[in-house]
Amino acid sequence: MVPRYSRPEMTALWSPETKFRIWFEIEAHATSALAQLGVVPKEAAAEIWEKGAAATFDVARIDAIERETKHDVIAFLTHLAEIVGPQARFVHQGMTSSDVLDTTFSVQLVRASDILLADLDALLAALERRAREHKLTPTIGRSHGIHAEPTTFGVKLAQAHAEFARCRARLVAARAEIATCAISGAVGTFANIDPRVEDYVAEKLGLSPEPVSTQVIPRDRHAMFFATLAVIASSVERLATEIRHLQRTEVLEAEEYFSAGQKGSSAMPHKRNPVLTENLTGLARMVRAYCLPAMENVALWHERDISHSSVERMIGPDATITLDFALARLTGVVDKLLIYPERMQANLDRLGGLIHSQRVLLALTQKGVSREDAYALVQRNAMPVWRGEGDFLTLLKADPEVSAKLSGAELEALFDLGYHLKHVDTIFARVFGTS
């Protein structure tokens, strides 16, 4: 976790203080369930809750104990016993370390999901607002980076909204899949702890019991979760890359907000660089990088090993903190994005009408010309314009084979920009529910 790319709420979720508080709650809930089953005294469970809930767990003390025991959960339980006293002997009855660690990780990932879902909601709101603002702002669509046919800037943003809406749905599903609890003891057989304890703890924490934990929650769940984060990061990069291209000097149809006093270059005072979206591209690479080790964690030995543990101590905080920061940054970029309709129009006009070539092609086929011949007629008039040698409409009117099929008025009608925007309402209705 790098402070530069972190936000407080998500960072706090992964702090030692938060982790130990969740550990205590799992142990205390399990003890309460055991008390209801008559396995431990009810007064013991009540005292554990009372003293533990009021305690501030000493991270330095736990770390000191772990340096001796070489076991993090035992270190915590030892410190908890120092706080609770003799009744602490009833804590962790029939449980194993993975019960605490895996269930805690589930709780943290669920809470992280809720933060990320709120981030996505904010981004979706910003995208919809800007999309509606520029619903009918004409701009050139590009394929292979080359001018293709007209679209609108609102449609560009509507596409991003639809993509992030899918990301949100995937995250909701990933959250549900990761929200499982394991309190099943050594090798997951419940030999020393009643399955009803797991049911109780799961309900208290808002989780579902893991059907077969084998001492650990199966890591295919975690692989799916981090894969979902990676896909979201890729969508972040897609929109960031689009904005970076649109900010290029030769294009300059949109631009990151440049605040008063901001500097673009240490050497060149004139520079206004797309630093935020370049940063987002880099952060997306990092989130995707955490996906592969999560997948490699799936193949654990037998009922459990801990080869996954060191991996998850890193990727859990880093992936969620980084994506949280990236989504918030992207929302700010979209919200303050500078958009230049005049430049969009100038770029639309840059190729002398070539963007209407398909309409001319189709019109010629409707007049009885074969598609192959129509393509050749249009292309032979388009290539001089591409080289800067004339205007497309003028050349078409002057071509006897074209004018034999299409009158001047018919050709002019084919160059109507509004023709390309006639289904924008349909697209918006599909994305937003209303046009």
Q: Residues with catalytic annotation?
A: 144, 265
Measured CA to CA, the distance from residue 202 to residue 103 in angstroms comes to: 9
Q: What are phi and psi of 49, to 5 degrees?
A: -60, -45
Cβ-proximal residues to 18 (8 Å cutoff; 6+ apart), any chain: 12, 108
Cβ-proximal residues to 114 (8 Å cutoff; 6+ apart), any chain: 175
Cβ-proximal residues to 45 (8 Å cutoff; 6+ apart), any chain: 28, 31, 32, 34, 35, 90
C-alpha to C-alpha distances, 72 to 78, 97, 215, nearest whole angstrom = 10, 9, 17
Residue 306 CA neighbour count, 13 Å, CB half:
8
Measured CA to CA, the distance from residue 72 to residue 385 in angstroms comes to: 72
**Is 277:256 a contact under the CB 8 Å cutoff?**
yes
Cα 214 → chain centroid: 31
**Strand positions, DSSP E, 260-403:** 338-339
Which residues face 381 on adjacent strands?
none
User: Which contiguous run of DSSP H or E holds residue 161?
Assistant: helix 153-178
258: exposed, middle or buried (C-beta count within 10 Å: 0-12, 13-18, 19+)?
middle
Cβ-proximal residues to 68 (8 Å cutoff; 6+ apart), any chain: none
Measured CA to CA, the distance from residue 294 to residue 223 in angstroms comes to: 5
Measured CA to CA, the distance from residue 96 to residue 73 in angstroms comes to: 9
Tokens found for residue 316: 């859990």
Per DSSP, 147 falls in state: E
Measured CA to CA, the distance from residue 79 to residue 65 in angstroms comes to: 8
Measured CA to CA, the distance from residue 22 to residue 17 in angstroms comes to: 9
**Is 62:79 a contact under the CB 8 Å cutoff?**
yes
